Amino acid sequence: MNRVSIWLLAFAALILAGLGLYRWGGERSVPDAEFVTIKGEHIRLRELRGHPVLVTFWASDCRACIEELPDLAELYREFSGRGLKLISVAMAYDLPSRVVSMAEANKLPYPVALDPLGRLAETFGQVRLVPNSFLIGPDGHIVMHQLGRIDVRNFREKVERLLEEA
């Protein structure tokens, strides 16, 4: 690898790191959103105030998303009894039949929503890449945004703190 390639890679890494810091910096409130699950349930974000909520965007053709499913199921089982809410949102381009099949095959214990028009992805800041997760505090502010697989240990610590505050 030549020197120019190394500098370009370093520059690209700095830009990506900067974007990541920008996305993580500060809390921002999410507008109300309504999720329609594959079971026909309607979940309104405003009705979940007072609880920490994890909203995670995924796709059935995303390898990292599929690898993350067992971690999300474990976290949900661990914290749902204490108040954590988790909503998984399939991307607009995902076939509903495939999402349903994948949710059933993996026995996902949390609600799985469809976003056929991409409105939920738009509400959460033009989500285009997956996995993409937002941890919302009991007050309705985003306290963590993770592009890529969730760091389970970091997530546990944040949820513990949010549950203590709630």
The answer to whether residue 16 sits within a structural domain is no
Instruction: Specify the CATH number for the domain of residue 87.
Output: 3.40.30.10
Neighbours of 108 (CB within 10 A): 18
pLDDT band at 166 (very low <50, low <70, confident <90, very high): confident
Q: How many domains does the chain have?
A: 1
The answer to whether residue 21 sits within a structural domain is no
- Residue 13 pLDDT > 80, yes or no? no
pTM of this structure: 0.82
For 20-30, what is each residue's pLDDT tens digit? 433 434 457 77
- Confidence (pLDDT) at 31: 76
* Chain-centroid distance, C-alpha 79: 16
For 87-141, what is each residue's pLDDT tens digit? 999 999 999 999 999 999 999 999 999 999 999 999 999 999 999 999 999 999 9
The answer to whether residue 135 sits within a structural domain is yes
Q: Which residues contact 67 (CB under 8 A, 6 or more apart)?
A: 149
Mean pLDDT across the stretch 156-161?
A: 95
The answer to whether residue 6 sits within a structural domain is no
The answer to whether residue 15 sits within a structural domain is no
| Contact indicator for 76, 53 with CB cutoff of 8 Å | no
Q: Where does residue 124 rank: exposed (0-12), middle (13-18), buried (19+ CB within 10 A)? A: buried
Domain of residue 93 covers: 27-165
The answer to whether residue 101 sits within a structural domain is yes
* Residue 131 preceded by cis peptide, ω within 30: yes
The answer to whether residue 150 sits within a structural domain is yes
For 45-83, what is each residue's pLDDT tens digit? 999 999 999 999 999 999 999 999 999 999 999 999 999
